[in-house]
Amino acid sequence: MATNDAQDITAIATLGLGEAGTAITTGLSKEWRKDDPSRRILSVDIGLGDNIRGAAINDRARAIGVEVEGSYTSKLGDAGAVFSVVTGVEARNAALAARDVLKPGTLFFDVNTLTGPQTAAIAEEMYKAGIDYVDFAAMGGFSTTGHKVPFVLSGPAAERAAAFLKPFGFNVTVMSDRAGDASAVKIIRSVMVKGIEALSVECLVAAHRAGLVDEVLACFSDIDERTFAGMASSLATSHVVHAKRRMEEMDKARENLIELGIQPLMTERTRESHARTVAAEIAPADASLPSFEEALELLSEKVVKRL
């Protein structure tokens, strides 16, 4: 696969100028371009032709001080690095449209949320044109940290990409040389994070109605001591032994939410999940805790059935 030296890159393009695209473009403008007139940034957003969205996109581009186009024109061919920040639905279309005009050796950062296999399939399409496709997964929100959000990279060009980005304030970690790995971690992480988001809504609305928001938030302090990863692994392990007791606790939680006038959507699903484990009858007779690995094996083979 062809590669260009990072110092030879004089033009960068971003595909998409929404929240994430704006954060990355702004960061590139401040950290990479600075006041160097030889360095150019081009943003492409197909929403530019929309009467309402187009005006907002133009305003954002003006505020950052970058060129903006509404289609994938030959101008993209000047870019030595491209950041695709569209949507998961449009990720493949954007990649293939850009591929037709990009030079071999161009770094193509796919920031879009996709499954591992979907990302790997797009990567193969880009490799055919000699494009250095990088699976570029954001592990946090852009609203607070901008382009310095933690990124995990994977793919054959990941090391080269990380070396290019680090001097410009990007917080990057190389995971592997296989495109799809970073996206897989991000989307599996979303099962947890977005689930917690939904649980937070149900839990904190209940706390609000009970007049106990501060008290409920304070009772999570034990998680700070264990770390989140420690809590998650501990819960998965002890779930094997304590699913029945915790299922019964969710019955009471459901009753409390109903008393507060709240549909217990997430709580009922949690109860169903625990009931599934109870029905599998995997709890050891002596109530001894398995190891974390043993617990995951049991849950995978006996509880969470394959589709």
Residue-wise pLDDT tens digits, 41-79: 999 999 888 878 888 999 999 999 999 999 999 999 999
In percent, the amount of the chain with pLDDT more than 90 equals 89
Distance from C-alpha of 224 to C-alpha of 246, rounded to nearest angstrom: 22
With H, G, I as helix, E, B as strand and everything else as coil, classify residue 107: strand
Per-residue pLDDT, 7: 63
User: Does residue 2 surpass a pLDDT of 60?
Assistant: no
The per-residue pLDDT for range 111-164, each reduced to its tens digit, is 999 999 999 999 999 999 999 999 999 999 999 899 999 999 999 999 999 999
Q: What percent of the chain has pLDDT over 70?
A: 98
Q: What is the DSSP letter of 71?
A: S
- Residues 285, 288: Cα–Cα separation, whole Å: 8
Domain 6-185 has CATH 3.40.50.720: yes
Overall pTM surpassing 0.85 (yes/no): yes
Residue 31 has phi, psi (to 5 degrees) of -100, -35
Query: 34: burial class by Cβ within 10 Å (0-12, 13-18, 19+)?
Result: exposed
Q: Where are the domains of the chain?
A: 6-185, 220-303
Please give the torsion angle defined by the CA atoms of residues 240, 242, 245 and 248, in that order, rounded to the nearest 10 degrees.
-40
Task: Assess whether pLDDT exceeds 80 at residue 1.
Answer: no
pLDDT digits (tens, 9 = 90+) for 242-278: 999 999 999 999 999 999 999 999 999 999 999 999 9
| Rounded-to-integer distance, Cα 114 and Cα 85, Å | 12
First to last CA, the chain: 38
How many Å apart are CA 222 and CA 135, to the nearest integer? 35
